[in-house]
Structure formats: C-alpha cells, structure tokens
C-alpha cells in the first residue's frame, strides 16, 4: 500500500512534517466451498492515517517530537449464516478516530543515536450495514480500541562503511479481548441491541525485535540487510480466528539505496515473511438457536513484500 511523507524546516531548531500511511491492510478470502465458511468467507481490515507533526532540537544531543493522528478504518466481514438453510451474511463498518504520538532522539557521542517513540490507542465506534440474504438488512456497530505501542531504536556508525541498527517494539494488543457486534436496528426477529456476532480473540501483548546493517558499497550506493522476529498476539489454537488468522513471524529483508542525483534518492527493498505453522481449533456460533460450527486445521503461509521509495530534497 502507498505511503507518503513530507517535512520542512521552519526555523533553526524547528521542523514540521506530515505523513500519509496505511498502518493496517489485512485481507483473507476463502473458496466458496471452504468448510469454515460459516465462520468466515471473506474478511478485510483497512486503515488510513494522516499524521501532522512537529520536531524541536533542544540541544546537540536531544531532539523532541510529537503529532496528532486521524485514522479512518473500514472493516468487512462476509460469511455464511445458518438459518434453516445457508444464507450469505455481509457486514460493512467504518469510522474515524483521533490519536497522538510523541518521541525523543538522543545522540550518544559522535556515532550513536537512540530513539524512543509512543503511539496512543485509537478508539473506534465502527458503524454500518449488516445484510443476511433472505432475512433483511439492518445497521450495526462495533466498539474497538486499536492498541498503543512503544518503540525503541538504536543506530551506530561502526566505521565509514558499516552502520548497525536495532529496534524493539511493544504493542498493547491485550486491549482487544471480546469484540461484540451489536444490532442498532431490527434484523429479522433479532431486535435492536441484540448481539449479532462476537469476535472472541483474547489477544496477548505483542513484541517485535529487529537487527540490521547498512553497508556503504560506493559513494552513491548503500546495501541494506535485516532480520526481525514478530510475536503474534494470538494466544492459542482455540483463539486463532478464521477471519484473520495470525502466527509468529520471522522477517528476512535486503535492499539498496541509490543516490540518483544531488537531490534524489531511490530505495528498493524485498522482504520474505515466514509465518510459523499454526493450528486452529475454532468453535463459533454460526446461526440461529446457537448453532455451533467447528474448524480444525493448520495454516502454513509466507508473504513476499517488494517496496519502492523515492526521496526528493528541495
């Protein structure tokens, strides 16, 4: 998904910036005959974030920054619903939320920098439509708090060729436990205020650790290498949701930065994400009268990511 950033200097010690990002872009689609279609047929979560910010250089070893964030989210959940016969159910919800972020960068000597950042939680009241084929259409809502996070990063210029990098992030995923979907209007015989569905997630906090290095190959080209481990918030097989399954991840990445002109820089990168083989044993209400469905199986997956970035200085 595309991201864009811009920054400019307002004074001797003051900078302003703005970022347009897509923090979450998750999607899972199953075949129409998938045995777990009564739990999920298609699911999608997308968020779009705009983040203006200011940074101030306090002195030669300390800089401070902060900003506000507006994030728009869309959630789509499609599945089959058992009401005597199988019926298609579609849920489409959206909302926007405000948050904030703050950080500090410390210069420890000539060659070492340490950065610390915090991003606040975002509280959504997602609202929209719920449709069950042959039953009707209604409105519904979900209250969801996306997690806050703390990140620590360090860079060290080892010599004129090598730069070493490291980072660690804690994400407060345990904010998300049970996520009920409430009807705000009548759907069939279900009145407004009834719970149409519940996402039983029981997330635990997540951690990510990464190390990397930049090697200055020539005056105009730098090689980049990195590895990272990302612990999934999913606690066990019973809570590994079919609608967006997740597992622990290991990242391997490499890329390069090429100075095209005095003011233009091109970055190209590739990452392979290895997801740990993960079992699921998911029991869920899939229809009227408390009808239950069970999905038992294993997920095996990897992800390939190609990135392209251009930076221009004015």
**92-136, pLDDT tens digit by residue?**
999 999 999 999 999 999 999 999 999 999 999 999 999 998 889
Q: What is the CA radius of gyration of the chain?
A: 23
The architecture that CATH gives domain 4-232 is Beta Barrel (2.40)
Tokens representing 290 are 């408390």
The yes-or-no verdict on residue 149 having pLDDT over 90 is: yes
* Residue 294, pLDDT score: 84
Of the candidates 89, 110, 10, the residue with the CA atom closest to the CA atom of residue 57:
10
For residues 260 and 218, what is the distance between their CA atoms, to the nearest angstrom?
13
How many helices (H) and strands (E) are present in the chain, helices listed first? 0, 18
Q: For residue 264, which of 309, 213, 214, 201 has the smallest C-alpha distance?
A: 309
Q: What is the DSSP letter of 36?
A: T
Report whether pLDDT(289) > 70.
no
Please report the pLDDT score of residue 199 as a whole number.
Answer: 87
CB-count exposure of residue 304 (10 Å: 0-12, 13-18, 19+) = exposed
Residue 257: what pLDDT?
Answer: 96
Say which range, 3-7, 165-169, 208-212, has the weakest mean pLDDT.
Answer: 3-7
Whether 287 shows a pLDDT value over 80: the answer reads no
Q: What local confidence, expressed as pLDDT, does residue 156 receive?
A: 98
């Amino acid at each position: 998904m595309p991201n864009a950033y811009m920054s400019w200097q307002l004074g001797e010690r003051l900078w302003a910036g703005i970022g347009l990002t897509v923090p979450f872009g998750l999607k899972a689609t199953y075949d129409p005959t998938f045995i777990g279609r009564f739990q999920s047929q298609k699911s999608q979560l997308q968020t779009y974030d705009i983040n203006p910010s200011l940074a101030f250089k306090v002195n030669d070893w300390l800089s401070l920054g902060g900003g506000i964030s507006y994030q728009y989210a869309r959630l789509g959940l499609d599945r089959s619903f058992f009401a005597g016969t199988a019926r298609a159910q579609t849920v489409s919800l959206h909302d926007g939320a405000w948050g904030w972020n703050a950080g500090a960068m410390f210069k420890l000597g000539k060659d070492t920098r340490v950065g610390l950042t915090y991003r606040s939680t975002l509280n959504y009241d997602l609202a929209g439509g719920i449709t069950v084929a042959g039953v009707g259409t209604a409105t519904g809502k979900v209250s969801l708090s996306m997690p806050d996070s703390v990140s620590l990063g360090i860079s060290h210029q080892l010599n004129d060729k090598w730069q070493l990098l490291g980072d660690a992030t804690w994400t407060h995923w345990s904010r998300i436990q049970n996520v009920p979907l409430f009807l705000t209007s009548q759907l069939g015989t279900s009145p407004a205020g009834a719970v149409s569905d519940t996402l039983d997630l029981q997330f635990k906090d997540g951690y990510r650790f990464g190390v990397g290095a930049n090697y200055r190959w020539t005056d105009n080209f730098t090689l980049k290498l990195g590895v990272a481990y990302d612990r999934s918030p999913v606690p066990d097989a019973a809570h590994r949701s079919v609608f967006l399954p997740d597992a622990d991840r290991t990242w391997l990445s490499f890329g390069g930065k090429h100075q095209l002109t005095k003011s233009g820089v091109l970055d190209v990168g590739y990452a392979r994400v290895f997801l740990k083989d993960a079992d699921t044993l998911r029991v869920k209400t899939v229809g009227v009268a408390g009808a239950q469905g069970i999905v038992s199986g294993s997920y095996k997956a990897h992800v390939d990511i190609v990135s392209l970035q251009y930076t221009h200085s004015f």
